[in-house]
Structure formats: structure tokens, C-alpha cells
A and B are shown apart, each in its own frame.
Chain A
């Protein structure tokens, strides 16, 4: 069964450093998303991406964050100058073309720890 894969599963970084979280969405999907879940809190939307551009972003997704689809398979989230409060589980998700149901399929997540 196709699945969304994320790497790494766990990333520890020092405050102020840049990190890149990587995702391989399901191959025929067209819509891509990043969400985050701070420990013990709800899952929050960060950004959606369609047709090689951001379609929507939350107020969390400020200039510190960027997304990219550098090739036909990968979808990345870059966090510049990380802060302690960026520590969270980051989930990538993808959903298929219109007519396939609209549900998003999530990866296993990357646990980011900023120290």
C-alpha cells in the first residue's frame, strides 16, 4: 500500500541552526501539506502546496519556514534559525487528485528537538 515517508524520524539540532525535514508523498498525489504537533497539543496546519506553489499557510508559517518540491518526488520543509519552541513532531501529508476522496495521508512524522 502506498505511503508517505518522512526522514529523519528524529532530528536533534542546536538553537539557531537550520534544519530540513524531508518527505516523499504518495506518487500520484497532487496536494502536499505540513502539520506540526507540539507535545501534548493538537495537530496544527502549517502550509499546503499545490502546483509548485504555496496554496495556503497559517500564521505559524512565517519567514522562518519555507517549503520546496525540488524534484518530482521530494517535498521539504526548511526551518531557519531554529528556536526552542520549534520542538515538535512535524507531519507531512498528501492527498490525491479531485475525485479520489480528499482525505490526506500522513507520514510517520519527524520529531524535532531543539536544544
Chain B
């Protein structure tokens, strides 16, 4: 069965420091990997995706993620965190072209402190 794991419930980082939000997945076949962000009382906003090609993908708001096939990971990163990055981040995986259902991780709350 397909699954996504986000091992950290919360990540705390000081503003200006680099951040990493971890994600690992378990799927059969080639995964399509996504990161979404959810601000309070808002919907899910698409940040970035990996389908094929370069393992490092860049997305919105300065975020990037690195696909590691051998470790089945897709960690979200940002070189310099902003207080406004504080939100709930979800990793998700899809199969077969990305048009099938998304399987979400449990989410990681990112808290960036001034």
C-alpha cells in the first residue's frame, strides 16, 4: 500500500536560518511527489512537484525539494526561513501521471521564530 511519512510533527527554526521539512514515501512504481502548504483557515496551496528529471526541484516562495530515489525521500528545503513561512506543510504522492488521488502525509507544522 502506498504511504507517506512526515516524521516530525513540528519543526522550529529561527528566521534567516535554513529549514528542512522531511518526507519519505512508500509506493510501487514511479511516484509523482508534491508539497502543499496550508495556512490557518485556508485551503491547500501547491508549492512544488517532482515528476521526472533533475532531483532538485524549485517551487513557490523560494522553496525547493530534493528527490532521493534510493532513500525514497522528498525533503522540503529553504535556504533562509521567514516568519511568514510558518504554516502546516503536507507532502503527498500520486501515481500514474499525477491524475490519480493524492496520498498525504500527516503534515508538519513549521514555526519560524523572529
- A residues whose Cβ falls under 8 Å from a Cβ of B: 4, 6, 31, 33, 35, 41-45, 48, 50, 56, 58, 91, 93, 95, 98, 101-109
Docked complex Cα distance between A44 and B97 (Å): 20
Pairwise interchain contact A95-B98, C-beta atoms closer than 8 A: yes
Q: Cβ of A42 and Cβ of B105 under 8 Å apart?
A: yes
| B49 contacts chain A at the CB level, 8 A cutoff | yes
Number of A-B contacts (CB under 8 A): 62
B67 at the interface (CB under 8 A from A): no
B98 touches A101 (CB 8 A): yes
B100 within 8 A of A: yes
CA distance A50 to B100 in the complex (A): 10
Q: Which 4 A-B pairs have the closest CB atoms?
A: A102-B98, A106-B44, A45-B101, A108-B43
Interface of A is mostly: strand
Residues 76-112 of B, flagged 1 when their CB comes within 8 A of A and 0 if not, give: 0000000000000010101001111111111100000
Q: Are A106 and B36 CB-contacts (below 8 A) given A42-B105, A101-B49, A101-B51? A: yes
Complex alpha-carbon distance, A91 and B94, angstroms: 17
Q: How far is the CA of A93 from the CA of B98 in the complex (A)?
A: 13
One of B36, B51, B102, B107 near A45 (C-beta < 8 A)? B102
A106-B43, A106-B44, A108-B42 as given contacts; A45 in contact with B103, CB under 8 Å: yes
Whether B102 contacts A104 by the Cβ 8 Å rule is: yes
Q: Is B34 an interface residue (CB 8 A)?
A: yes
Give the docked Cα–Cα distance between A7 and B99 (Å): 24
Residues of B within 8 A of A104 (CB): 46, 102
